[in-house]
Amino acid sequence: MTNRNHQGRPSCEEALPAETRHDAQSLLSVDGGDEPPTNFSNNRPFGAVIGQYYSRRQVLQGSLQAAVAGLFAAGPGAALAASPGRSAQGRARPGFEGELGFEAIPVYNGDEVSVAPGYSAEAFLVVGEPILGPDVGNPAANTVEAFENCSGAEMEQRIGSHHDGMTYFPFGSDPNNHGVICINHEYIDARKLFPASGPNAWVSSGTRPADQIRKGIAAHGVSVVEIKRDKATGKWQITTESGLNRRITAETPMVFSGPVRGSDLVRTKYSPDGTMTRGTINNCANGFTPWGTYLTCEENWASYFAAGTQQDAARRELRRYGVTANSRRYGWDNPEINPLTGLPDEPTASPTNPDPYRRFDATPTGFDATEDYRNEPNCQGWNVEIDPFNPDSTPVKHTALGRYAHEGCVVGVPQEGQPLAFYSGDDAQSQYMYKFVTAGRYSRRTAGSHLLETGTLYAAKFNDDGTGEWLALDINDVRFRAAVDRAVADPRSVWPGGQYDDFDGFRDQADVLVNTRLAADVAGATPMDRPEWATVHPSTGEVYFSCTNNSNRGRDTTTNTRPIPAEADAANPRPASAFGHIIRFRERGNRSAATRFNWEIFVLSGPQDDSLDLQGRPLDDTNIHASADGLWLDDRGILWIETDMGSGQQEAEINRFGNNQMLAANPYTGEIRRFFVGCRGQEVTGWADTPDGRTVFVNLQHPGEASESRPVLASTFPDGPGSGGRGRSCTIVITKNDGGVVGT
């Protein structure tokens, strides 16, 4: 096995706060979860905020430039110990200079893809394409119609839907031409999966045909696909030669590790001892480990479950995440009645796979949790480790890293003899950024999955002066215990709206982790503008996070669990942020276990008259963008930025920003250039490359999404106008026509 330090990145659909997401179910049902069009009313004048920002950044700029100068003086890659994961690849590491060597392209709003001059971009790994079984490589099985008409059983052998984060794991024997790619599949569009059902396919009330449930479950999860580049044609192809191809779905058996394993909070009829569960849901961004495994991250899982009654839904481990009595996104809990048996139509009554569909109904019906699925929602919201080189391995849900709407999970630069740090955002309005620090110390020789079983979870607090601190969410931490005691004594000091007046603390660390958001509320973390992807600079160790947007920032809006902060702050400087920003920070002493950091804003995204780059300049025609989501720092030090404007923003801004796009930035100078633009109605997400940097993979998620109600977003990509007018999620292979390194 070869190691590879890689992050991918996700995409997202919703921007609603988790607590209000279900109040907007009707909106979700129209738009596939896109956030509503941004309302610009009630803004504080942007100039006032930016004035504060400028005065603060004068200070920051000085110190950061000094830091950068120091790094350059020390020589590329010398600032931190080299990343074993990256250097183990034998990858060329020319210098981390981050220099951009291509010509920026204009915004584009057509239905093809647009890439910088001298580059090519081709579709690959399309939803519905067979990776297992007799149809691998059969073009007739890889059409829009074949995908739409395939059964649930067939879908279990095909590439899933709504591609998101991904990682390429190279084979040591021919790393640049042969590897395994793991791709997350975030969600589905029922209208594309079962078009014969017509528009009602989307309606989440009522019963569902059993095979539609099976197909929907199979279209979720992760695809593990062996791919190989034909050296004669230069084309990448799916291969089955090593027997590694695998579908992991929303029904695949998984084990728990860490403090929650065996907890009362995850006991179910399926796993009475609370050590296992089934499936991974809404896998958004991703990560990888220095020992060569894949991390897939469960983001917007809450709406897949029905909670029974309002009273049932009041359980804090449901309410704080948005599981409601009415949430049942695809109706998986409610299969049709089988006319032959008179019972709900589920595929098996196997004792090892009981109630595979009805488990999405979390209503307490039994004597205790081992007789029903009241705890099934507690089994989602984790990071899952998958070994791409062992198709028989059981995926592991690592509970020590916390339960929330994980966007991604990226490892800091591994340093021999030091703990590892993993960074992850909770993508919902005014949620938090987190870091997990392993208890064990990293050694290239012994590193493995055990490192993810024990450690400390922290939530980030950003101070207005450019400093920040990591707040431990650890029941044995003195400061956290004191904060819990204060919250128990006076819950309204934390939740002034009275939503958790009955807060009685945490029983144990498992309780803290299942209720990570509450724990971070108590600790005093900073609510952020929808933290999406994180990425780590391979040389400086700086961590970048995208804050995609937050239409409620600064609004006097009260949700049913906590008020949205009424004011912008230095780390989230815009009220009702429509365009978002990218923030970066450096751990004190470049130590993974540091509890302090320094931060600054890398770019305030937006149009020419409402944006700022690192040098304090407005963006221009070559680099305007909105709603940055995916981030990736490649091994040459280029920061790739992928955008995810929701369908409302896409429709409203299609002439100004064009379609969702990917830009490249130089982290040292802050220069940004537009490199790639996708087709209509999609988001660009996911990033992976070969070790030589000559093949880059990105994903186009949901071409044509929401075009039923927003016709301008209609897409036929990649199949073309003859395909029945329906776009399909796919991977894009980007290469330089002269065979060079992408981006340079």
Positions in the binding site for Ca ion (CB under 5 A)? 10-12, 532, 629, 644
Q: How far is the CB of 299 from ligand FEO (least distance, A)?
A: 5
Pick 221 or 538: Cβ nearer ligand FEO: 221
Residue closer to Ca ion by CB (options 225, 285) is 285
Q: How far is the CB of 705 from ligand FEO (least distance, A)?
A: 13
Q: Does 18 bind ligand FEO (CB under 6 A)?
A: no
Of residues 135 and 299, the one with the C-beta less far from ligand FEO: 299
- Smallest distance, Å, CB 171 to Ca ion? 29
Q: Which is nearer to ligand FEO, 7 or 177 (CB)?
A: 7
Q: ∠593-517-545 over CA atoms, to 5°?
A: 55
Shortest distance, position 427 Cβ to ligand FEO, whole Å: 3
Q: What span, in angstroms and rounded, lies between the C-alpha atoms of 289 and 85?
A: 8
Place of tokens 């620090």: 437
Among positions 189, 532, 587, 653, the unique one binding ligand FEO when judged by CB under 6 A: 532
For ligand FEO, the closer of residues 152 and 580 by Cβ is 580
Per rule CB under 6 A, is residue 427 in the interface with ligand FEO?
yes
Q: 531 pairs with which residues across the strands?
A: 547
Write each residue from 162 to 201 as x if it is in contact with ligand FEO (CB under 6 A), else as -, in one continuous string: ------------------------x---------------
- If one counts every other C-beta atom within 10 angstroms of the C-beta of residue 656, the result is 12
385 binds ligand FEO (CB under 6 A): no
Contact call for residues 290 and 410 (beta carbons, < 8 A): no
C-alpha 589/C-alpha 182 separation (Å) is 34
Q: Which residues of 85-121 are buried (b: 16+ CB within 10 A; e: fewer)?
A: bbbbbebebeebbbbbbbebbebbbebbbbbbeebeb
- In the chain, the amino acid numbered 297 is C
Interface with ligand FEO by CB under 6 A: which range of 8-16, 35-43, 98-106, 515-523? 8-16
Among 3, 5, 7, 11, the residue binding ligand FEO under the rule CB under 6 A is 11
Pairing mode, strands 396-398 and 253-257: parallel
- DSSP H/E element including 687: strand 683-689
Residues in Cβ contact with 711 at an 8 Å cutoff, skipping those fewer than 6 apart: none
Nearest approach in angstroms of CB 285 to Ca ion is 6
Pick from 333, 387, 407, 653 the residue near ligand FEO by CB under 6 A.
407
Minimum CB–partner distance for residue 521 and ligand FEO (Å) = 20
Q: Rule CB under 6 A: is residue 534 a binding residue for ligand FEO?
A: no
Of 13 and 719, CB closest to ligand FEO: 13
Distance in Å, CB of 186 to ligand FEO, minimum: 5
651 lies in the binding site for ligand FEO (CB under 6 A): no
Q: What is the DSSP string of 172-235?
A: TTSTTTEEEEEEEE----HHHHSGGGGGGGG--SS-B-HHHHHHHHHHSEEEEEEEEE-TTT--
Near ligand FEO in 548-577, by CB under 6 A: none
CB 326 within 8 A of CB 203: no
Residue 720's identity, in one-letter code, is: G
Which stretch, 4-12, 152-160, 193-201, 579-587, contacts ligand FEO (CB under 6 A)? 4-12
Closest distance between ligand FEO and the C-beta of residue 248, in Å? Answer: 18
Three-state SS string across 697-710, please? EEEEECCCCCCCCC
**695-701, strands of its sheet edge to edge:** 119-124, 730-736, 695-701, 683-689
CB closer to ligand FEO out of 313 and 631: 631
Q: Which two tokens stand for residue 402?
A: 């916390």
Please report how close the Cβ of residue 646 comes to ligand FEO at its closest, in angstroms. Answer: 10
**Footprint (CB under 6 A) of ligand FEO, residues 293-332:** 299
705 touches ligand FEO by CB under 6 A: no
Give SS3 for 238: strand
Each residue 255-294 as x (binds ligand FEO by CB under 6 A) or -, in order, gives -----------------------------x----------
Q: Does 642 bind ligand FEO (CB under 6 A)?
A: no
Asked whether the bond before 718 is cis by omega within 30 degrees of 0, the reply is: yes
Nearer to Ca ion, 12 or 79 (CB): 12
Nearest distance from C-beta of residue 286 to ligand FEO, angstroms = 11
Nearer to ligand FEO, 10 or 130 (CB): 10
Total binding residues toward ligand FEO, as defined by CB under 6 A: 10
C-alpha span between 55 and 351 (Å, rounded): 65
Q: Select the binding partner of residue 299 from ligand FEO, Ca ion, none (C-beta < 5 to 8 A, by kind).
A: ligand FEO
> Which tokens go with 26?
């009707």
Return the number of the residue (12 or 121) whose C-beta is nearest Ca ion: 12
Q: Which is nearer to ligand FEO, 293 or 685 (CB)?
A: 685
- Name the amino acid, one letter, at 199: P
Q: Are 166 and 183 in contact (CB under 8 A)?
A: yes
Spatial separation of the C-alpha atoms in residues 249 and 269, rounded to whole Å: 20
Q: Which of residues 114-133 bind ligand FEO (CB under 6 A)?
A: none
Cβ of residue 701: shortest distance to Ca ion, in angstroms?
9
Q: Which stretch binds ligand FEO (CB under 6 A): 10-18, 435-443, 487-495, 703-711?
A: 10-18
How far is residue 659's CA from residue 678's CA, in Å, rounded to a whole number? 6
Q: What is the secondary structure of 350-387 as a DSSP string?
A: -TTS--TTGGGB----SSSGGGS-TTGGGG-S-EEEE-
Please give the residue ranges that form the binding site for ligand FEO (CB under 6 A): 10-13, 186, 284, 299, 407, 427, 532
